[in-house]
A = this chain, B = another copy of it.
Amino acid sequence: MTELGVVRRKIRRAERAAVEALGRYGVATVHEAMGRVGLMKPTMRPIYPGARVSGTAVTVLLHPGDNWMMHVAAGEIEPGDIVVAAITAECTDGYFGDLLATSFMARGAKGLVIDAGVRDVKTLTEMGFPVWSKCVSAKGTVKATLGSVNVSVVCAGAAVNPGDAIVADDDGVVVVPAEWARKTAEAAQAREASEGEKRLKLAAGVLGLDMYRMREPLEKAGLKYVD
């Protein structure tokens, strides 16, 4: 059961080298390397194009319209972390702006992933602090009710534990459990290694039908070419 009113201080972060490796492969490759699980919903979009980050999750659970725990979360950030913010119910409010971003950056955060809204996006873009969010909204929040920091949360359809590896880029956000980070990085590397050769063949006009030997299984499945 998700606990409210709790800040967990000791979390096991995914191994740094693995987290950094995951960041090199990007969301699509990492998601495939995990066996096609772990993705957040496609509603999570970056506030500006081109950013790619990987880091370890500091999770925060907030109430609709209340960003009090964001300030508590700031206190738990270590360099290389990405804050992952979940709300106890659907909310589009702007929980995060340039002041909090200044604080998060000073603490070493590499980005924010939030299943709600964000504001001051022009300034955040200029600061180079990437955020993946459900929407952009100037709507302000109150500071009245306790949530939690570094508990298990569900963010945009994905289960996230504190310390999990997070990779985010223009394709979305993927969560890799801390204990799977190294193995997934290796699988991603293997996957990417095999893509270079494929790309060359496809660029030369070879069809995937032939390269992947799909013609026979397609015919067996009953595919018919007609005029």
Known: A65-B65, A137-B42, A142-B144. A72 touches B202 (CB 8 A): no
Residues of B within 8 Å of A50, CB to CB, are 122
Residues of B within 8 Å of A90, CB to CB, are 41-42, 90-92
On whether the beta carbons of A72 and B209 are closer than 8 Å, the reply is yes
On whether the beta carbons of B74 and A207 are closer than 8 Å, the reply is yes
Q: A4 to B34, alpha carbons, bound, how many Å?
A: 10
What's the minimum C-beta distance from A148 to chain B, rounded to whole angstroms? Answer: 9
Q: How many residues of A contact B (CB 8 A)?
A: 104
In the assembled complex, A140 has its CB within 8 A of some CB on chain B? yes
In the assembled complex, A31 has its CB within 8 A of some CB on chain B? yes
Number of copies: 6
Known: A158-B154, A202-B103, A225-B9. A207 touches B138 (CB 8 A): no
What's the minimum C-beta distance from A195 to chain B, rounded to whole angstroms? Answer: 7
Q: A158 to B7, alpha carbons, bound, how many Å?
A: 21
On whether the beta carbons of B221 and A5 are closer than 8 Å, the reply is yes
Task: Known A-B contacts: A9-B227, A64-B64. Give 9 more (CB < 8 A).
Answer: A1-B177, A7-B226, A66-B142, A89-B139, A90-B91, A100-B208, A103-B208, A107-B205, A146-B222
Q: A residues near B, CB below 8 A? A: 1-10, 27-28, 31-32, 34-39, 41-42, 45, 48-50, 52, 63-66, 68, 71-72, 74-75, 88-94, 97-100, 102-103, 105-107, 117, 119-122, 125, 135-140, 142-146, 152, 154, 157-159, 169-172, 174, 176-177, 180, 184, 195, 198-199, 202-209, 212, 214, 218, 221-227
